[in-house]
């Protein structure tokens, strides 16, 4: 409820920002804190570590605003309510821009959350029965990513050429006649209770205490690292460059590995 309230307040602020066009305090004051939009887990936790342990020594201050969905952080950034956000990977950003517009700059990748297949009924993908029901993300980039994971596990086969825009309509072969149901990413952890399996985004899996997936996306060469995103104006700000440097630092990589066990969240290479 707390995060939904924050998102609602942010949405109200966006309408005002769209009228004023004033931007954040940091956009006008080089000594003001950077206002960063984050998903609570793990992005908010990682940035909180930076704020508590590294930012002061680096001469920057951070103000975190937490969002509970995948659309508002980009809306807030585009409307001048944020200086940067940290919650998404490049394929998602590219898809968002193609569909909704906005002028954004990808700064640096920080971490990868390997997508996982979770089940409370079965201990392996092979046990999922014919006619079983699997839930997966409904946002375009993560839906394609989830389908590729299911394909890698032999549950489905996609049409030739189906890439980062693949949807359930691109399933060419489904030998077990698996029912594929798309849901908002934040609804997927709850669906594990009644579906045969669910493909859950790493941040929501962590938040829900889903720590033992029955299959995990391959991290090697994975293009879905989550990173820092800003605006063209703030991309030139030395505070953003310093923040990116801190997020890629050995200290942050050690924090990520220690806190998340090197499975649910791993540092970007």
Distance (Å, rounded) from C-alpha 198 to C-alpha 219? 19
Mean pLDDT computed over 21-33 = 89
Q: Within its chain, how far is the Cα of 259 from the centroid?
A: 18
**19 and 70 fall within a common domain:** yes
**8 and 107 fall within a common domain:** yes
**259 and 178 fall within a common domain:** no
**151 and 211 fall within a common domain:** yes
DSSP 199: E
**133 and 42 fall within a common domain:** no
**108 and 229 fall within a common domain:** yes
Mean pLDDT computed over 17-35 = 79
Distance (Å, rounded) from C-alpha 209 to C-alpha 198? 14
**pLDDT, tens digit, 9 for 90 and up, residues 152-206:** 999 999 999 998 889 999 999 999 999 999 999 999 999 999 999 999 988 889 8
Residue 235 belongs to domain spanning: 2-114+223-267
**193 and 108 fall within a common domain:** no
Neighbours of 33 (CB within 10 A): 18
Average pLDDT, the chain: 90
Q: How many independent structural domains does the chain possess?
A: 2
**180 and 106 fall within a common domain:** no
DSSP 116: E
Query: Nearest 5°: phi and psi at 190?
Result: -70, -30
DSSP 119: -
Neighbours of 91 (CB within 10 A): 18
Q: Which of 86-90, 209-213, 227-231 is the least confident region?
A: 209-213
Where helices occur in 72-117 by DSSP H, the ranges are: 72-78, 90-100
Distance (Å, rounded) from C-alpha 76 to C-alpha 88? 14
**62 and 150 fall within a common domain:** no
Write down the pLDDT at residue 19: 36
Q: Which of 198, 216, 234 is the last residue of a domain?
A: 216
Distance (Å, rounded) from C-alpha 258 to C-alpha 162? 36
**pLDDT, tens digit, 9 for 90 and up, residues 41-91:** 999 999 999 999 999 999 999 999 999 888 899 999 999 999 999 999 999
User: Which CATH number do you get for residue 20?
Assistant: 3.40.190.10
Helix (H) or strand (E) run with residue 181 in it = strand 179-183
């Amino acid at each position: 409820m707390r995060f939904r309230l924050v998102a609602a307040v942010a949405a109200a602020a966006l309408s005002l920002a769209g009228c004023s066009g004033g931007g954040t305090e940091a956009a006008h004051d080089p000594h003001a804190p950077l206002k960063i939009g984050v998903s609570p887990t793990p992005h908010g936790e990682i940035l909180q570590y930076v704020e508590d342990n590294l930012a002061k020594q680096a001469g920057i201050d951070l103000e975190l605003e937490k969002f509970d969905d995948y659309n508002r952080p980009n809306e807030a950034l585009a409307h001048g309510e944020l200086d940067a956000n940290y919650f998404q990977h490049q394929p998602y950003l590219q898809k968002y821009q193609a569909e909704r517009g906005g002028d954004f700059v990808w700064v640096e990748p920080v971490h990868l959350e390997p997508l996982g297949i979770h089940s409370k009924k079965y201990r392996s993908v092979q046990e999922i029965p014919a006619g079983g029901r699997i839930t997966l993300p409904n946002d375009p980039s993560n839906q394609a990513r989830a389908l590729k994971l299911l394909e890698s596990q032999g549950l489905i086969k996609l049409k030739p050429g189906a890439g980062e825009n693949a949807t359930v309509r691109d399933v060419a072969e489904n030998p077990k006649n698996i029912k594929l149901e798309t849901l908002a990413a934040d609804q997927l952890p709850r669906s594990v209770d009644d579906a045969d399996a669910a493909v859950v985004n790493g941040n929501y899996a962590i938040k829900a205490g889903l720590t033992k997936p029955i299959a995990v996306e391959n991290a090697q060469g994975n293009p879905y690292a989550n990173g820092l995103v800003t605006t063209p104006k703030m991309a030139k700000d030395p505070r953003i460059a310093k923040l990116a440097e801190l997020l890629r630092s050995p200290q942050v990589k050690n924090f990520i590995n220690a806190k998340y066990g090197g499975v649910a969240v791993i540092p970007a290479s």
